[in-house]
Copies of this chain bind each other. A is one copy, B any other.
Amino acid sequence: MTITTVGLDADDTLWHNETIFRLTHDRFVDLLADHADRDTLEARLAETEARNLRLYGYGVKGFTLSMIETAMDLTGGEAPASVVREILAAGRDMLGHPVETLPGVDEALAALSGAYRLILVTKGDLLDQERKLAASGLGDLFAAVEIVSEKNRVSYERVFTRHGTGPEQAVMAGNSMKSDVLPALAAGAWAVHIPYAITWAHELADAPADHPRYGALTNIADLPGWVRNRT
């Protein structure tokens, strides 16, 4: 079965993202250092995020709202206004953060785009993801961009059918076992895991055991060769 289509995750696959979230976490912990220690703050923020995920979905705006809510909860409403303002500023900084592609990305995508249809498949805030793609300079290499509210079997079936020749002829590559690899395999596509240095707790999952359509790479530079060898 010939592979015609390569789906690529964006955040932490093509460019840094979790690093920027972690920096904002550090800023949040500093801001509220008088009220609770790091572990407590992190745990409460994670609880708030999980509770709000159903309403807010993924992305910076929902994360900012969850930080404000957590600050209010933790201080019993005693958080000075400067804390809220700082959190708003931190959110805006994330949305304006420069985009830095990861090592090997530019070359790998250039090599792949000559032979395969490339599709960006990502979650998060629509405008923010479009901005990052434009800022990355990679936009012209993609035949299609799909920003989805959830990455699951159904969304991969839809994306690879709409923009490619079906999941059986597509491979999905990304840093999240839970969002990029497992549901793409369930949809009948190939999948390649390329881990990032750190993974958001919400995205952790075990690797598939001995799956015929699964691959693991340490660097995206090896992706063009991996796809070519499947064809």
* Chain A positions near chain B (C-beta within 8 angstroms): 52, 55-57, 61-62, 64-65, 68-69, 72, 75-82, 84-85, 88, 91-92, 95-96, 125-128, 130, 147-149
Contacts and interface: CB of A to CB of B under 8 A. Distances in A.
A44 to B, nearest CB: 15
Give 6 closest A-B pairs by Cβ, nearest first: A77-B81, A57-B127, A61-B61, A127-B149, A55-B95, A126-B149
Taking chain A's interface residues, is the majority helix, strand, or loop, or is none over half, making it mixed?
helix
Contacts of A81: 72, 75-79
Given A77-B81, A88-B69, A57 B149 contact: no
Q: Quick one: which of A64, A81, A147, A148 has the most chain B CB within 10 A?
A: A81
Nearest to A75: B81
Contact of A126 (B80, B84, B147): B147
13 contacts: A52-B92, A55-B92, A55-B95, A56-B61, A57-B127, A61-B125, A68-B68, A76-B81, A77-B82, A125-B125, A126-B149, A127-B149, A130-B149
B125 A57 contact: yes
Contact of A95 (B56, B75, B79, B85): B56
Contacts of A56: 61, 95, 127
A96 B76 CA distance: 25
Contacts of A148: 126
A96 B61 contact: no
Contacts of A149: 126-127, 130
Contact of A68 (B62, B80, B84): B84
A130 B56 CA distance: 12
Contacts of A128: 57
